[in-house]
Structure formats: C-alpha cells, structure tokens
Structure 1
Amino acid sequence: MNTDLDFRPVRDADLPAICSFARSAEELYYLAPRARFPLDVEQLAASIAQRSDSSVVCRGEEVLAFANIYRREEGACWVGNVAVAAQARRQGVAGFLMQRMARLAAERHGARELRVSCFNRNTAGLLLYSRLGYTPFALEERLDDRQQPIMLIHLRLPLT
C-alpha cells in the first residue's frame, strides 16, 4: 500500500506539473478530449473551473496524479481528467487516486456509485478500471482528434 502518498485539493502551483502528465496528443485526448496538445495551464484552469473536487495525489511535494468530478446525477458521481505522471505509472498511484475519489464522492456528495469513461484505445486505463472492479454499462461512439471512429466506454463501481 502507498502509505507515503497524500491526497488533497489541487492548488494553482500544481497546474504546471499536471500539464506535463500527457506526453503525446493521444494521451491528452484520453485525459481531456477537447484540449489542444500540449496542455497548458490556461486550458487546465478553464477545465477545472467547470468541474468540482479537483484533487491531486502527491508524494512529498511531487504531484503524481490528478482527477476531478465533472457530473453528479441520481446518486452517481462521474470522475474525469484522470491522469498520472509518467514516472508514477504502474505503482498503485492511480488506484490510490480512484479510491480517494470514491471516498470523496460518497462522503461529500452522497454518491452510491462512481462512474468513469474510458476510450477503447486506452488499454492501460481499461485494465486499471477492471482491476479496481469497474464494469462497463454503456458504449458511446465518438470521433477522435483525427475524425476516426473511437468508442467511449462508460464504467461504474458501486460504493458501499
């Protein structure tokens, strides 16, 4: 377990680090489909302003992961902008982030279910959500940044 990790609300000083998480246009598309690569502080701040509960995972002063809530409905919270720094991937940081987002959604918003959306080409994301117990419940056809068909898979996790 990652006992050296902290979870807290995002601060303005965290934004440059978060902007560096998406190392390619494809990674940025998974994180924020409407954003332009490379992600900059202005785009990220605008996205944060339209969402709630933007949060980071840190180890000491180093920002390692980011997520927020972009929709609340019928006892469910939708988590989006999920991103992990390249150097922190495959170390349990994303799982820690999603567990803390689930706790926040339940405690602050009374959520009984956490929902996420993940593009079919984002294998790492789909593997993560599957390992955490999320199950698909809907599919949405989209066009990617090159106007090619892509599938957005909506997943959910019941909260106890």
Structure 2
Amino acid sequence: MNAHLQHRPAAATDLGDVVGFPQTVDELFFCYPKAIWPLNVGQLAAAIAERRESTVVELDGKIAGFANFYQWQHGEFCALGNLMVAPWARSQGVAQHLVEVMEQIARERYKAPLMKVSCFNANTVGLLLYTRLGYQTVGIVERRAPDGSRVALVQLEKALQ
C-alpha cells in the first residue's frame, strides 16, 4: 500500500471535487452510464443515495478517487461501481488502491466471497486494471453509448479470499 494514499467514507463536501473527475462524455459514460454530461453534484448525490459504501481515496490529503457498490447481497457478492480517479492523480496507484479497499469492505462488511465489475469495451485502462488485479471475464452484454452506437459491456468477477 502507498503510504500517501488514505481512504474514508465519502462526505457531501467531497462531491464538488468528485464531479470534476470525468473529463469527457466517454469518461462519464464509463464510470456512470446513467449520468448526463456534465456530471453535477445532484446527479452524484442521487447515485450515492441508491448505492452503498461510497468511498474516497486521498492522495497526499487531496481527494483523488471515488467508488461505491451499486449492487450488494450479504454473503453472496458486491458489485463495484462509479469508480473514478481525478485527472491529476492518474497512473499513481489510486484506482488499484481503491479497488483493493472496496474488496476489503466487501469481504469484511458484507461477507462477500465475490466481487463483480462491469467495464465497457472502449475503457482500455479499466479492462487492463481489472485483469491485472485478477478479475476474469464472465460475460459480455450489448448496451448503447450516449450517441446510440452499440457497445459491449464486459462483465468481470473475482473471488475474494
């Protein structure tokens, strides 16, 4: 673990920073497909209200990452969602740290033996991250991008030890 990375539950005061993380329509689609560009505090607050364990990672005391669970079944699985990293903090281990933190929360608080993740085919960085962290592809489903084009949503899973 990077000593410069700390995590904590997300607070309402964090949302103004987090909404600035997605830099393009595509980035927002990857991390929050139902959102409308540009992401705003109201949209993010609505997502948080429907989800569990919204968590931020701080890098050197500055909010650098955010994620939560969009599905959870105690004793069965948790599904990771809304994972996003601040542009200035990318390629510094924030996403990996955040995924590992969320896996720990799934194991400890939900007794989940399995973590599920969905990642769009165009999200190369995400697909490579999840594969490197031991996630296996279990399915591919068709979805529509904001422009109406067909995209593949890759479904991945990892057994939590």
Displacement over 3 Å in runs of 4+? none
Tell me by how many angstroms 1:87 deviates. Answer: 1.0
Deviation by residue 1:24-60 (Cα, 9 ceiling, x = unmatched): 1110000111111110001000010000000000124
In the superposition, the TM-score normalised over structure 1's length comes to 0.97
Indicate the residue corresponding to 1:21 in structure 2: 21
Q: Where does the alignment leave 5 or more consecutive residues of structure 1 unmatched?
A: none
Alignment of 1:135-146 (within 5 A): 135-146=136-147
SS in 1 for 2:137: strand
Partners of 2:134 and 2:82 in 1: CA distance = 19
Indicate the residue corresponding to 2:48 in structure 1: 48
Indicate the residue corresponding to 1:88 in structure 2: 89
Q: Where does the alignment leave 5 or more consecutive residues of structure 2 unmatched?
A: none
CA contact (8 A) 2:65 2:83 kept: yes
Alignment of 1:60-139 (within 5 A): 60-73=60-73, 75-139=76-140
In the superposition, the TM-score normalised over structure 2's length comes to 0.96
Partners of 2:65 and 2:15 in 1: CA distance = 11
Partners of 2:3 and 2:147 in 1: CA distance = 41
SS in 1 for 2:140: strand
Percent identity at matched positions? 42
Indicate the residue corresponding to 2:160 in structure 1: 159
Deviation by residue 1:69-128 (Cα, 9 ceiling, x = unmatched): 111236110010000111111111110000000000000000001111000000000011
Tell me by how many angstroms 1:61 deviates. Answer: 3.2
Partners of 2:151 and 2:8 in 1: CA distance = 33
Provide the alpha-carbon RMSD of the alignment: 1.0
CA contact (8 A) 2:31 2:81 kept: yes
SS in 1 for 2:83: strand
